[in-house]
Structures are given as structure tokens and as C-alpha cells.
Amino acid sequence: MNVHDYMQQVGRAARAASRAIARADTNQKNRALLAIADALERDHEKLVTANMQDLAAAEKAGLEAALVDRLAITEATVRSMAEGLRQIAALPDPVGEMDDFTFRPSGIQLGKMRVPLGVVGIIYESRPNVTADAAGLCLKSGNAAILRGGSEAFHSNQAIAACVHEGLAVAGLPAGVVQILETTDRAAVTELVTMPEYVDVIVPRGGKGLIERISLEARVPVIKHLHGNCHVYIDDTANPDKAFNIAINAKTHRYGTCNTMESLLVHEAFAEFILPRLAEAYWEKGVELRGCDRTRAILGDKVVPATAEDWETEYLAPILAVKVVRDLDEAIEHINAHGSHHTDAVVTEDYGRARRFLREVDSASVMVNASTRFADGFEYGLGAEIGISTDKIHARGPVGLEGLTSQKWVVLGDGQIRQ
Amino acid sequence: MNVHDYMQQVGRAARAASRAIARADTNQKNRALLAIADALERDHEKLVTANMQDLAAAEKAGLEAALVDRLAITEATVRSMAEGLRQIAALPDPVGEMDDFTFRPSGIQLGKMRVPLGVVGIIYESRPNVTADAAGLCLKSGNAAILRGGSEAFHSNQAIAACVHEGLAVAGLPAGVVQILETTDRAAVTELVTMPEYVDVIVPRGGKGLIERISLEARVPVIKHLHGNCHVYIDDTANPDKAFNIAINAKTHRYGTCNTMESLLVHEAFAEFILPRLAEAYWEKGVELRGCDRTRAILGDKVVPATAEDWETEYLAPILAVKVVRDLDEAIEHINAHGSHHTDAVVTEDYGRARRFLREVDSASVMVNASTRFADGFEYGLGAEIGISTDKIHARGPVGLEGLTSQKWVVLGDGQIRQ
């Protein structure tokens, strides 16, 4: 079968299955989730074996170490996939939730019902655990899923797929609820993002290049996660300990995550006091600092001069851009102009400035006196996350079950007609 | 200036103004809305005069009567535009609304804040009243608007624009908050829908052709209103009077609106009882019936045989497709397969069937015992509406102030860092 015909068949099966999963009740969906979790744990050896095939091929192909690292499955990875599914099972079911029912002057009673989106297409690279997370989130939110993993994780994903299908069968749900593509042909992605009759939304997870390519091609809505250029702004009213702890944690807790701070802004009246303390700690951890002229005037030549590009960069590495700013206004302006609208934090004890930062910084997550590292689905209580949206339309920030649903209007009448 | 440079300038002005209007407080926005309303009423003669220029040109160009009709401005039209703006001023301000603040196990307190989308581009045909409605809704929801009206309404729209800008000036808001394009060049639309750096969402209002063309071109999200192929399903448990009144109202209250019923489905056990009564009333009002074989067996040859195309058609005319169905399942299946996911209603006294219809019909508005004609922004209490979305992503159904906003995550901390 050619790729077009194969994808049409996958699309039709997904659309049909989406009706079944939309109607499935909470118990049935949870039964499937728990059965998948059990199957994964039982088959952990099979998964590791399949993964070794992928790892061997990756090493042979000379894949870079970071990628190979993300590809690896251990018994611990399998347990955490299973744990993730059990957490999703424990979350309240968003489907069918009704609220806001009020009477209108005409006598109709108007409210809203939360419903699945339909069919969700997910395109991702490397990490096989996305397969289990995405399947679990789509299933619980009543959506059918079409998963397209990276070719480098092909065997791992097929092994996980077997567990997913076993779990669906245990709960009496059709296999079409979660389909994992059996082709690694790039043309399948093009088909997937251009069949609005079968796919309601696309979630790409991967590098900026992948996401831009898919957005350009897509004829269905895309929930985009472009990049995370996150800021912490330390105001001159900051509590010094909070400022120190947050600035260190936001940068050094993990270097490769999208909610890691990439630029630090410091109020000019606070810079001479806090920057030397911070620089010492950063350097001790091997973080390279790239600063504006005023930063270098305080910290000396060990600070690399920052170029215009540094303010735009998501390093995903032990590098930090540092800028001394005049005041809150300059900080907000800098963040809105150079940030990526992902996550930004202020450290301040001033009530009015905290309110202004929250309101005026145009990002998916805005924080007062907390580390940017909190911006993820797990810390926000969404269970897992299907991605972190840097769009404003539909879902913003970490996308969990709710982001995979929509609300329809419900009108309850007693025979009302329009006058 | 060429179109590209002109649109870049418009885009930059809109982006800058979007920051000002996002920060504006409720009083300032309401002051602008009321001042625009006053200016429109005061200038009603100027508006009618400008409109006469457009009408004369339209007649000379041989525009069809329905279009000329939608183009006309009378003193009454002006009063209703002003009234619409006063209603928007009276609605609660959605911007900055915060809710759902709960503590997470880490100690952070997490909630959501409603915020404007930024810059909204609206592309529409004929009706000059859209200019006032759209300006009002964008202004109140804290967005900057770029309005592109039809070339046939150019003078009318410019006259309305003068009132809008006067109102903005009275409230101390920049003119860039509402820009009405001063060119009728088609290339301006292409520019508008392909500048994501300046435009956050596009709302096209017009025929299916316009919307499909724009969706295909757009590189920014589009809130689409494709078409309204609405159904009423009369179950055999229906109350006969409710069924009769709703079926007549949904079809004959207005023929040209998107929430008008286009197909009537009747349970086979109820058809012989209700269809003759209904047919008599429809025919008296000059409504042509196109029916399935079973409908024709009951009502005779005066019913035109329905073709496959009839089930898909939005007539926007005194024509109704009629089908006798076996049961609720066939009705739901028919609606999901042939409808346009806009608005569909069931008439029934059966609790379980009402619940199933609400849940399983995949439309923006689902109704029990009420006329489909209720599906609009005014009846739903949204004030005006910027459109009715047939998409599932972001806003669904009538889109008012809330649909022009998004929610960001707010984290309130006391120095928390991620462990």
C-alpha cells in the first residue's frame, strides 16, 4: 500500500474510533489506562530488548550522545511510564463536565459541556516515553490518537504499542483509539497534517525546525511549542535570599529543559549587591556568563560580552545572559521584545510591581517569587503534559487533559421559539 | 507607498496599540465605547450620506439586490450600532479576570488570568455595521483591531472609522487600537493574514469561498465560520406542540441566517402524525419541501425528491430537506455525517434520549426542545458576536468577548524553588 492510502486508512480508523472513545465512560477509560500500565511493567524486559535494537542502530548511525541518551529505556523508565498512566487514571474525567447553566431572558437555559477534540495527531522525536504519555492523555480526554514517533525509536515504540493495544482490548475499546504509525516514511507526516477530514489538531514535539516545518505544511490547527527563552527579573525590592535561590534554581536545576532561565535581568540599584554573590555560585557550577556592559563593569572580564543574539537565545546549556536594567518598565519591555512568551518570573516584595509584572508580561506562565522550573504539567497538577504551548489560541502553557478538549454550548428548553 | 509597506506600518501600529489597550482599565475602555456611540448618533446624517455614495456605486456596478440590501445604512441602523456599543460597554470586562487559585504540593499557588489575544484582523463583506460591532468587541476585550471591510462599503466604513477614532481620542487611547484599512487592494488581505509578527488571529466573516481562500493563505490562526447546515430531530416521544412550533420557527423565522434549520429529521413512528400538519404550515408560508421516499409516501408528490446533495446544503432560502429516520441513532449519525457542526436540536420528552443527543451530536450548539434560531451572540448574552465558530479549537459557536481572550497561568510564590 502506498503512503497516501495507508494514511487514509489510518485516518478513517481514527475518526471511527474517536466516536467510540468519546462515548466511553470514565471507568472504561481508566480500566484501559491501568491495563496498559500493567502490561508495560510485565513486559519491561521485552521493551528493553526492543530498545536495544534501536540503540544499536542509533550508535551505528552515529547519532549524537544526547539523542541516544533520550532514546534509552531502562526498567526505571518503564516503571515511570506505568506510573504516569496510573496518575492519568486518577485524574478527574474532563469529558461531559457541564457548567455555567443560567437562564436567558428568552427562557432557554444555557450552559457548556466539555467534549473531546476528536482525533489528535502527535509527531515527536526520540523519547519513547512520549508514546505512553500521549496515548494516556488522549485516551482519558476521549480523543483518538495517531502517533508518529521518530524513526530512531521505531522498535521501542512498536513494543509500547503492543501494550497499549492490549490495554484497549481489555477495556473493550477499539484498537483505532491509539494508532502508532508503522511507517517511518517522511511523506506520512505530510499526509497526517493535511487531512482535516480525519485529524482535528496536531501536536508536534521536538526541535524548533520540526515545528516550523510542520506549521508551514499543516492544513489542520497546530498546538505549537516553539521555544523557551525564559527570564527572571530581580527587582531592587527583592528579598535577597529568594532572589539568590530562585536565580540559581531557575538556571542550574536542569540545563536542557524549556522552562530553564536563559536570561537574568537585575535592577540597577540591586546589581552591585546581588550579582557578585550569584556569579560566584554560577561559576562554581560551571555556568558561563554573558553580560551587558554594566554587568561586566561589576563582575569583570570573566563575563563574556553579550551580543544582540544572546538576548534571543535558548541555550539549553550552562550559559546565562545577564543584563542590568533601569527599572521594571525596561524589564517588562525586554521580556516582551526578546522572550518567547513561555515562562517569566519576577522577584520582588513590592505589591504594585508584582501586579504589573503579572499583567503586562505577555507569556504563557508569569510568576512572582518562584522558579521558572515550576512551569510544567506535573507541577501544575495536569498529570502529564502533551506539550507546552507558546501560542495564545486555544491552550496556553502546559497542555494536559483540558487542552485536549473543547466546550460546546448546551441549550435546555421547554419548547421556546425565537420571537 | 506600496501595499506591503503600508500593511507593515499598519501592523506595527496595531502591535504598539495592543499594549496600550491591554493595559487600559475598564472605565477608560467604556468611555471610548460610549463616546463612539454618541459620535455615531450625532453623525447619522453624515453616515447616511457616505453610504449613499456606496449604494450609488453598487447599483452602477450591478450588485445583486440582497448585497445592496445588506449594504444600506438608515438612521435606524445607526441607532442600533450605537445601541450595540452601549451594550458592550455594559458587559463585564473579561480582561484581568483571575480564577482557580489553588496551592500545589510544592507550595506555589497556581491560577489563571484572562488576557487579550493581542491583534485581531477582521475581514468582512458588505454590512457596515460589522465595523462598529467588531471595533467595540475588540476594544472591550483589550485587543487592537485591523478591519478590512468590503470595497463596496468603503465610504460607509471610513465614515464609521471617523467616529471610532473620535471616541478613542476622547478616552485618551491611541488611534492604532482600531485601524480600518484605507486600501481596497486585494493584496492587503494577503499581507494581513501572513504577518504573524503583528497579527495574532484572523476572523473572516463572509461566504464560504472567502473563508476557504483565507484559511488556505493564512499563516496566523483563523477563527472560521464555514456554514450552518442545522438540523431539528423530532423524536417519537416529542410533545406535538413543541415539535410543531420549533420546526416552524427554526425554518421560517428567518431564511438567510446561519442558525436556520435546513434539514428536518422525524422519527418513523411520529412522521405520519406530525408531517402533514407541518407540511401544510410550510407550504402556506411558501417553503419548498424536498423529502426522502418515506416522506413522499406520507406527503405525496408535492414534495420534491431529495438528492444526496440536499442533505449537505445550506439553502439560506425557503427550502427544507425532510427525512424520516428509524430512531435516535440514525438521527445522530445523519447529523454528524452531513451537518456542519453548527447547531442542532432534538425535540423529545425522553430524558435518556435528550442526554444522548446532547452528548453525541458533535456540534458547537446542541439543544433540547428549543429552536436552533437561539444560537447567536445576542441570545447567548455575549452582547454582539464577532462570528460563529464551526471550529473546535479555541472558541466554538458564537464568539464574543471571551473568545477574543486567552488565559495565562499565574504562579504566586514565596521563594519556592524546584526540588
Render pLDDT for B200-212 as a digit per residue (tens, 0 to 9): 999 998 888 888 8
For residue B23, list chain A residues with Cβ-Cβ distance below 8 A: 359-360
Per-residue pLDDT at A66 exceeds 80: no
**Distance between A385 CA and the closest CA of chain B, angstroms:** 15
CA angle A285, A287, A291 (to 5 degrees): 140
Q: What is the pLDDT of residues B3-48, one digit of tens each?
A: 999 999 999 999 999 999 999 999 999 999 999 999 999 999 999 9
What is the per-residue pLDDT for B254? 94
With CA atoms as reference, the chain B residue closest to A23 would be B360
Query: Do B375 and A409 make contact, defined as CB atoms within 8 angstroms?
Result: yes
d(CA B291, CA B100): 51
What is the per-residue pLDDT for A226? 78
Among A248, A252, A418, A419, most B C-beta atoms within 10 A, so best to mutate, is: A418
CB A75 within 8 A of CB A123: no
Per-residue pLDDT at A115 exceeds 90: yes
Q: What is residue A285's three-state secondary structure?
A: coil
Query: Do A418 and B379 make contact, defined as CB atoms within 8 angstroms?
Result: yes
d(CA B306, CA B4): 49
What is the per-residue pLDDT for A64? 82
Per-residue pLDDT at B184 exceeds 90: no
Average pLDDT value for chain B: 95
By Cβ distance, the residue of B253, B365, B416 closest to A371 is B416
| Nearby residues of A289 by Cβ (< 8 Å), 6 or more positions away | A279, A282, A283, A295, A299, A302, A303, A304, A319, A320, A322
Query: Do B394 and A394 make contact, defined as CB atoms within 8 angstroms?
Result: yes
Query: Do B415 and A245 make contact, defined as CB atoms within 8 angstroms?
Result: yes
> Taking the model in full, what pTM does it have?
0.92
| Nearby residues of A357 by Cβ (< 8 Å), 6 or more positions away | A233, A328, A331, A332, A346, A348, A366, A368
Nine cell digits for residue A321: 545572559
Lowest-confidence region among A89-93, A183-187, A265-269, B124-128: B124-128
What is the per-residue pLDDT for A216? 87
Among A244, A359, A382, A396, most B C-beta atoms within 10 A, so best to mutate, is: A359
What is the per-residue pLDDT for B385? 86
d(CA B145, CA B130): 12
Q: Per-residue confidence at B227, pLDDT binned at 50, 70, 90?
A: confident
Per-residue pLDDT at B64 exceeds 90: no
| Nearby residues of B4 by Cβ (< 8 Å), 6 or more positions away | B187, B191
Q: Per-residue confidence at A385, pLDDT binned at 50, 70, 90?
A: confident
By Cβ distance, the residue of A200, A360, A416 closest to B370 is A416
Beta carbons within 10 angstroms of residue B115's beta carbon: 26
Question: What percentage of chain B reaches a pLDDT higher than 90?
Answer: 85
By Cβ distance, the residue of A200, A358, A379 closest to B113 is A358
Lowest-confidence region among A9-18, A62-71, B91-100, B222-231: A62-71
What is the per-residue pLDDT for B114? 97
**Distance between B396 CA and the closest CA of chain A, angstroms:** 6
What is the per-residue pLDDT for B68? 84
If you average pLDDT over residues A15-31, what whole number do you get? 96
What is the per-residue pLDDT for B215? 87
Among A408, A414, A419, most B C-beta atoms within 10 A, so best to mutate, is: A408
| Residue reference for cell 503583528 | B198
Among B409, B410, B414, most A C-beta atoms within 10 A, so best to mutate, is: B409
Query: Do B417 and A359 make contact, defined as CB atoms within 8 angstroms?
Result: no
| CA quadruple A22, A141, A213, B211: dihedral sign | positive
Q: What is the pLDDT of residues A158-184, one digit of tens each?
A: 999 999 999 999 999 999 999 999 988
Mind listing the domains of chain A with CATH numbers? 3-223+395-412 (3.40.605.10), 230-374 (3.40.309.10)
Query: Do B200 and A374 make contact, defined as CB atoms within 8 angstroms?
Result: no
Per-residue pLDDT at B196 exceeds 80: yes
Q: Per-residue confidence at A39, pLDDT binned at 50, 70, 90?
A: very high
If you average pLDDT over residues B242-256, what whole number do you get? 97
What is the per-residue pLDDT for B216? 87
Nine cell digits for residue A35: 491495563
Query: Do A221 and B414 make contact, defined as CB atoms within 8 angstroms?
Result: no
What is the per-residue pLDDT for B387? 87
Query: Do A246 and B393 make contact, defined as CB atoms within 8 angstroms?
Result: no
Q: Per-residue confidence at B65, pLDDT binned at 50, 70, 90?
A: confident
If you average pLDDT over residues B177-199, what whole number do you get? 94
**Distance between A291 CA and the closest CA of chain B, angstroms:** 24
Per-residue pLDDT at B169 exceeds 80: yes
Q: What is the pLDDT of residues B350-383, one digit of tens each?
A: 999 999 999 999 999 999 999 999 999 989 998 8
What is the per-residue pLDDT for B318? 97
With CA atoms as reference, the chain A residue closest to B238 would be A415
What is the per-residue pLDDT for A316? 92
**Distance between A276 CA and the closest CA of chain B, angstroms:** 20
CB A132 within 8 A of CB A84: yes
What is the per-residue pLDDT for B235? 98
If you average pLDDT over residues B287-293, what whole number do you get? 98
For residue A379, list chain B residues with Cβ-Cβ distance below 8 A: 104, 106, 108, 418
